[in-house]
Amino acid sequence: MAIISLYTGLYGKDLVKYEMNSVDFTSGVWQNPETQPDNFDYQLTGAYKSINAFTSGENWCFGITIPLRGTTYIQDTGTEICPLLPYNCDESQYESGAFSLAAQRPADFNIYFNDYCTPKSLGNRNWYLPCQNSEFTENQIFIPKKGYMTSHFYTFGEGYFSLKHLWTFTNSMSKNINDRAVPFYSTVKDSTVYNTSELTGSYRMGGIGGDSIFPASFVFRNNGAADQQPVEWRGDVTVPAEGIAQSRVKFKFTAFTLPASLTVKFGASSDGSFGGRNVYQSNLTMPNEAINAIGVTILTYSPDGILQKAVIIGTTLDFWQPKNQIGNWGASSGIEGGDGTFTAHSDNTTAQDVLNKIEEKKFLRKNWISNYSNYGIKLYTGFFITDLFRELFTSDFINRFLQSVYNPLSSILSLHQMPEYYNGIKLIPNDINSPVNSTIHLSGYNTSVSAVQTVNSLNSFSAGRVDLSSLYFGSFPDYEPYTQITLNLPFCGKISVAPSLCMGGYIDIIYTIDALNGGVCVNIVTTDRNDVSYPAYSVSGNCAYSLPVIGQQGGDYLKGFINTGISAAATMITKSPLTYLGTVKSAFDTVSTSHYTQSTGSVSGNISLLDDWTVWCEISRPEWSNPEKYSQLIGIPSDVSGTINSNDADFSAFTGFLKCKRFEAQGISGATDKEKDEIEKLLTSGIYI
Amino acid sequence: MIEIQVGSTPDEKIKLEKTFNIRTTINGEIFTPCSVESPQLIVSSDSVSNSDTYFYVPYFNRYYFLQSKDESGDITTLTLICDVLMSFKNDIRNCPLIAERSSNVFNGYLTDGEREFKNYSLNQYIKLGEFTGMQNWLVGV
């Protein structure tokens, strides 16, 4: 057994250590709702407390001791708080992402992390995460999901730190039915109680070690009251043809009242014997008194969230969509509104591990991001531009002579400025692998201009998440063409996002900036109400303010020098050496003022820099006129079959206003044809029940 | 001679199951020939009042609205029209249907053409973040 230690506290002060529940790391519970990793996720749950009050703006940091397999060397720099590097890890096994904690420090949390360092052994190590400096006000700490500690952005004095770790920090990883933890191998999602006669739970089917088989049968067990025999229902479930590892099942229990508790078992055989496979079992406790349920609806999903089949025990059910707004929405009292809140939600977006989400969806491979250093390209900052130009155009004879035959200006690829921070996070961090006191090295020419070498690869970060999980109307006006969503993306412009892709879900915005030339690419990842994520949009732009790269025509410069020098040389014989030098020096001075024969760069003022630098989302919604007795007197579109006493969707009776598309009265005994026609006419024009 | 229950109902005609406030039960004759959907009944004038607008005839096992009333001395002829909803309410409740609009069983995501929208919209702005500062000069070599 191993021990997990959690360190927390204020940056620069003594850290407080908390011992967490130890977990046997030879096994674990898979809790990743997106993909099933090749290796285990180690789950650790517990309550987190800190004796230090945490307020916005304060530095906050924590670390964790992760017991890992093996005994590899641990790097510990002593008292200085800095991250530790893993050794001998296979970099390609890791992914990274980032997300932010909620504004409120969570009271409890789960920590999940993958041990991808196989077969290498790493041993125990301490991980520390120094947090933001005083500029940071959003209580954000970027803790990527998985991965090893790659090159981190670290600048002395700036206080910014971003690490790519093995673990994920969140304050809630699963939803519980009735706040009851489900001891289940699948993640409970989307638990919604529609009314007192319904309870819906859903499970992502999954397991450990590849045993993620969608069950062919199920058993529902009504545990009933203490003095009652449990009642079981058995039924068959259509197994999706492929991708069963991530299949999802929803259960909709329909009853006049629900049983007190229900045990759900899954098996692989229709006779309920489960064929020797693992049985996933959960106890669901319903909020109502225990009587027999009258039916269960099972909905099965393919891995990409497409509803496969709906099956109900005892009766057949037409195919219906999940989250159908069926219920006592708008009773005769005239109270309108479904699950829409009719309130505009507050600005509570948080950045999460969107990079990892993109990674998992195979839309943006980390390997595609190029590192210019692989090609010998360096990027410097932190220098005085006047120093650089003065250096390049020095009046020193020797250097200027060298410049005439080997023009260092030609090695300048870019010279620009660009925005420095996003939400307090430095966009282009310095490269800690470079010497602290560096000078600018041009190709074949070393200047004495002090500078700091920066990371020159593409840098991606989350610009935020728009939370649309709370619907405004909870009905059709939430979508196009009624509702419109626009994103303002600095340096790229504005784009419209289709509500159907994100309403009830999220919009994640990921910026990727090329430090070398200021190129900007923005990926928009939408997640809809069924948790289907999609990289819906991408736009590009540029955030750099460039100076022209003066690529001098070396030949012209040299020519000018030679011509001047020859005339000077002609008098050389008759001149003293000092006079000669002075003459040639004069030639250099003359040439130096006229060697700008051609600019090969472009004057780029970059008008986009004058645009709004704020990433924001505009949601334009209609306002409807909502009479008090609207549903009572005119009803709401239904398209549900059945009878007045029992509809086919939830078996409740129609009440209030009812207008039928079709009503079949010909089977009424004792009524004349004329009366039957009259009945059908009335039902199709609308009656009150 | 047939029995007729006379009274009134406060409910609308298109209500399926109505409240029948029975005032009294009277006797009358059927004016022949008549149809069961719209019978004519002959009653004594003093047996019906002006408030009697709703009837039940057990002989026909149907409820009726008062369509017209013709008084001639001591005789009043009632022309009735069948309330098919109330008369066959139990059967109607079990007839198959596809609902088009309903007060309580509906799908809010079906477009509702009856909805009225105002000419202006509600605009919401959510700020996600901001670029700030200007990086020192960057030179790529």
Each residue of A422-433: pLDDT tens digit? Answer: 888 888 776 666
pLDDT at position A219 is 40
| A331: pLDDT strictly greater than 90 | no
Averaged pLDDT of chain B: 91
Of the candidates A613, A188, A143, which has an alpha carbon nearest to the alpha carbon of residue A423? A613
Q: Rounded to a whole number, what is the distance in Å from the CA of B5 to chain A's nearest CA?
A: 20
**Residues of chain B above pLDDT 70, percent:** 100
Q: Rounded to an integer, what distance in angstroms lies between the CA atom of residue A262 and that of residue A242?
A: 29
Residues in A touching B37 (Cβ below 8 Å):
672, 674-675, 678
A368-393 mean pLDDT: 64
Tokens of A501: 């892709």
Least confident of A2-11, A95-104, A537-546, B99-108: A95-104
| A480: pLDDT strictly greater than 80 | yes
A651 or A304: which leads in pLDDT: A651
Residues in A touching B91 (Cβ below 8 Å):
667-671
- Main-chain phi, psi angles of A341, to 5 degrees: -95, -15
| pLDDT level of residue B66 (50, 70, 90 thresholds) | very high
A337-341 mean pLDDT: 52
Q: Rounded to an integer, what distance in angstroms lies between the CA atom of residue A213 and that of residue A240?
A: 10
* Residue in chain A lying closest to B131 (CA): A422
**Residues of chain A above pLDDT 90, percent:** 10
pLDDT at position A689 is 93
* Residue positions counted in chain B: 141
Q: Rounded to a whole number, what is the distance in Å from the CA of B34 to chain A's nearest CA?
A: 14
pLDDT at position B67 is 95
Element (H, E) at A430: none
**Residues of chain A above pLDDT 70, percent:** 30
Residues in A touching B88 (Cβ below 8 Å):
668, 670-671, 675, 679
A252-264 mean pLDDT: 36
Which member of B36, B118, B136 has the closest CB to residue A381?
B136
A118 or A532: which leads in pLDDT: A532
pLDDT per residue over A129-148, tens digit each? 222 222 222 222 222 222 22
Cβ distance of B106 and A637 shorter than 8 Å:
yes
pLDDT per residue over A152-203, tens digit each? 222 111 111 122 222 222 222 222 222 222 221 222 222 222 222 223 333 3
| A397: pLDDT strictly greater than 60 | no
pLDDT at position A230 is 39
Rounded to two decimals, the ipTM of the complex is: 0.92
Q: Rounded to a whole number, what is the distance in Å from the CA of B74 to chain A's nearest CA?
A: 33
Cβ distance of B102 and A640 shorter than 8 Å:
yes
**Widest CA span in chain A:** 137
A306 or A502: which leads in pLDDT: A502
Strand partners of residue A419: B134
Query: Chain B, 11-40: which have a CB under 8 Å from a chain A CB?
Result: 11-12, 14-17, 36-37
Q: Rounded to a whole number, what is the distance in Å from the CA of A544 to chain B's nearest CA?
A: 10
Cβ distance of B109 and A614 shorter than 8 Å:
no
A399 or A90: which leads in pLDDT: A399
Which member of B15, B88, B127 has the closest CB to residue A679?
B88
CA distances from A274 to A283, A321, A386 (A): 18, 29, 78
A265 or A489: which leads in pLDDT: A489
Least confident of A100-114, A242-256, A376-390, B12-26: A100-114
Residues in A touching B125 (Cβ below 8 Å):
616-619
pLDDT at position B18 is 96
| pLDDT level of residue A409 (50, 70, 90 thresholds) | low
Tokens of A186: 């699948």
pLDDT at position A462 is 83
Choose the most confident range, by mean pLDDT, from A218-227, A596-605, A647-656: A647-656
pLDDT at position A375 is 56
B50 CB within 8 Å of a chain A CB: no
Plot region of A342 (φ>0 → left; ψ -120 to 50 → alpha; else → beta): left
Which residues have CB under 8 Å from A158's CB, separation 6+? A133, A426
Query: Chain A, 439-478: which have a CB under 8 Å from a chain B CB?
Result: 440-443, 451, 454, 456, 463-466, 473-477
Spell out the SS3 assignment of A596-652.
CCCCCCCCECCHHHHCCCEEEEEEEEEEEECCCCHHHHCCEECCCEECCCCECCCCC
B105 CB within 8 Å of a chain A CB: yes
CA distances from A123 to A4, A7, A389, A587 (A): 13, 18, 51, 68
Which member of A344, A443, A617 has the closest CB to residue B128?
A617
- Main-chain phi, psi angles of A94, to 5 degrees: -110, 150
pLDDT at position A225 is 40
Q: Rounded to an integer, what distance in angstroms lies between the CA atom of residue A104 and that of residue A48?
A: 13
A610 or A46: which leads in pLDDT: A610
pLDDT at position A471 is 79
Residues in B touching A663 (Cβ below 8 Å):
95-97
Q: Rounded to an integer, what distance in angstroms lies between the CA atom of residue A389 and that of residue A257?
A: 82
pLDDT per residue over A633-686, tens digit each? 999 998 888 999 988 877 788 999 999 999 999 989 999 999 999 999 999 999
Query: Chain A, 485-504: which have a CB under 8 Å from a chain B CB?
Result: 490
Q: Is A675 helix (H, G, I), strand (E, B) or coil?
A: helix
Contact A317, A297 (CB under 8 A): yes
* CA distance between the termini of chain A: 66
Residues in B touching A411 (Cβ below 8 Å):
141
pLDDT at position A482 is 93
| pLDDT level of residue A326 (50, 70, 90 thresholds) | very low
A431 or A47: which leads in pLDDT: A431
Give me the long-range contacts of B25-30 (CB less than 8 A, separation at least 24). Answer: B27/B1, B27/B2, B27/B3, B28/B1, B28/B2, B28/B4, B28/B78, B29/B1, B29/B2, B30/B2, B30/B59
Q: Rounded to an integer, what distance in angstroms lies between the CA atom of residue A531 and that of residue A370?
A: 31
| pLDDT level of residue A451 (50, 70, 90 thresholds) | confident
| pLDDT level of residue B27 (50, 70, 90 thresholds) | very high
Which member of A381, A412, A638 has the closest CB to residue B99?
A638
Query: Chain A, 647-676: which have a CB under 8 Å from a chain B CB?
Result: 647, 649-650, 652, 654-665, 667-672, 674-675
**Which of B17, B100, B105 is the best mutation test for A, with the most CBs of A within 10 A?**
B105
Which member of B92, B100, B108 has the closest CB to residue A476?
B108
A337-347 mean pLDDT: 50
Residues in A touching B118 (Cβ below 8 Å):
622-625
Of the candidates A151, A93, A95, which has an alpha carbon nearest to the alpha carbon of residue A118? A93
| pLDDT level of residue A376 (50, 70, 90 thresholds) | low
Cβ distance of B106 and A638 shorter than 8 Å:
yes
Of the candidates A513, A467, A472, A474, which has an alpha carbon nearest to the alpha carbon of residue A490? A513
Q: Rounded to an integer, what distance in angstroms lies between the CA atom of residue A651 and that of residue A644?
A: 10
A566-593 mean pLDDT: 40
Residue burial A316-351, b: 16+ Cβ < 10 Å; e: rest: ebeebebbbbbbbbbebeeebebbbeeeebeeebbb
* Residue in chain B lying closest to A667 (CA): B95
Q: Rounded to a whole number, what is the distance in Å from the CA of A463 to chain B's nearest CA?
A: 6
Contact A546, A602 (CB under 8 A): yes
pLDDT at position A339 is 54
pLDDT at position B54 is 97
| pLDDT level of residue A550 (50, 70, 90 thresholds) | low
Q: Rounded to a whole number, what is the distance in Å from the CA of A524 to chain B's nearest CA?
A: 13
Cβ distance of B107 and A663 shorter than 8 Å:
no
B119 CB within 8 Å of a chain A CB: no
